[in-house]
Amino acid sequence: MPELWQLSVTEASRLLARREISSVALTDACLDRIAAVDGRLSAYITVTADAARRQAAAADRRLAAHRHAGSRPDPLTGVPMQVKDLLCTNGVPTTCASRMLAEYVPVYDATAVARLRAQDAVLLGKGNLDEFGMGSSTENSAFFPTRNPWDTARVPGGSSGGSAAAVAAGAAPFALGTDTGGSIRQPAAFCGITGLKPTYGRVSRYGLVAYASSLDQIGPLARDAADCALVLQAIAGHDPRDATSLPDAVPDYTAALTGDIAGLRLGVPGEYFAGGMDAGVRNSVTTAIDKLASLGAEIREVSLPTTEYALACYYIIAPSECSANLARYDGVKYGYSHQGDGDLWQAMERTRQHGFGPEVKRRIMLGAFALSSGYYDAYYRKAQQVRTLIRQDFTRVFNEVDALVSPVSPVVAFPIGERADDPLRMYLVDIYTLPVNIAGLPALSIPCGFADGLPVGLQLIGPHLAEPTLLNIAHSYQQATDWHRQRPPV
């Protein structure tokens, strides 16, 4: 048996249910692993070691009771997890990696967190991120950058970089991240793990500190598709506290993992293989597509002509929503408050000046401009019209194919600092993930090879509520390959 910290969620769940291992032992192994590697990675903002041990002991009691009664425990009972520090956790700081909320401690759990706690999953701590989820490298954290476990001189991706790095390094069996424009899939690709962005509304956003409310979605990062299926099963479903939560019944995601994809029609959008892609990324992705064909899938070339407008569309809609959502941080009601000379308006100005980092301020200003009088129709309204065209593109293509296959990013993990002073070059890293959020679709990133010694991610995109199909495609591929079993050297 591998060391306990190396266990996948599925393996740990099975061993815990059989009482072959204890949650206390597994949690201690993960905490020891955090102590061993996080000094080099900075994947965690907060580690809740004492609380985790108490939760693990409670989980062991629940597992023993199930064993005695001959009943089955919930799949995630006793399994440790990390939660991105953008999700509220009762009694545990939720900083959003921002000075603005550096001392904020929520008095409630986000719905997704509460549903995991209801299964007695064990919270190890909170993951680092780009401030308020705004970034693609986790360099925008107000506290420290996170480093990639495959090469600590490189970024782990973002904004869920702390979560991806922790899972890849064995410092958590799984994590909850958020995805507004690729923030689960891109770091999953850069760190060589599996990450799922569900359909918009499939997972409640209640308790998620909002960045862009029409784009944000919570999802799992884990070793493989089977692990993601278990976590999604726990967190998906309607929540009356979230007006955007879908009422649709939650299917059995684990039962969907048959591994049979014979006859499935997979589309390859030509626009996702444009210039600027690293040759190693292209080779890994095309090889993976060939592998899917050998497993019985039918590969078709398709076109999504509005792809070229997605970046501009996103960087009008997302900053506009961000400027509205972050207006609440005024130094009066909660969070950081600049205390000094001057009137209320000067205090508010200085609160935002010192409380927000440069990338957050950049996006607030972009959004405020797009929504301002005289520019609203030219920018925000036009972007919403383009959003409709992007959705229609996907709808048309999904009349022809069951899912789409593409790269996650045109590049592999880049050196820390390389793109920090070039926002446009940084934004282009997410060119293949942004359209999915604009259309509210589900998408999955799985490891499919290496380029220059760094992981490459394959993206699977489906129509609304097609998570079972995507997870099964990923599972079929992972049953036939070993990329998801590779471990970083850290």
Catalytic residue positions, numbered: 84, 159, 183
Q: What is the rounded CA–CA span in Å between residue 291 and residue 278?
A: 20
Q: What is the rounded CA–CA span in Å between residue 195 and residue 179?
A: 10
* CA–CA distances in Å: residue 128 to residues 223, 303, 361: 19, 37, 19
Bridge-based pairing of strands 80-84 and 265-269 is unpaired
- In sequence order, the 6+-apart residues with CB closer than 8 A to the CB of 238 are 204, 245, 246, 247, 248
Q: What DSSP character marks residue 8?
A: -
Q: What is the rounded CA–CA span in Å between residue 279 and residue 405?
A: 17
User: Taking CA 227 as the corner, what is the angle to CA 224 and CA 231, rounded to the nearest 5 degrees?
Assistant: 140
Closest by CA to 73, choosing from 27, 23, 110, is 23
Could you write out the DSSP letters of every residue in 372-422? STTTTIIIIIHHHHHHHHHHHHHHHHTTT-SEEEEES-SS---BTTSSTT-
**Among positive and negative, which fits the CA dihedral 364, 370, 371, 375?**
positive
Residue type (1 letter), 110 = A
* CA–CA distances in Å: residue 388 to residues 25, 290, 306, 312, 432: 51, 32, 10, 14, 18
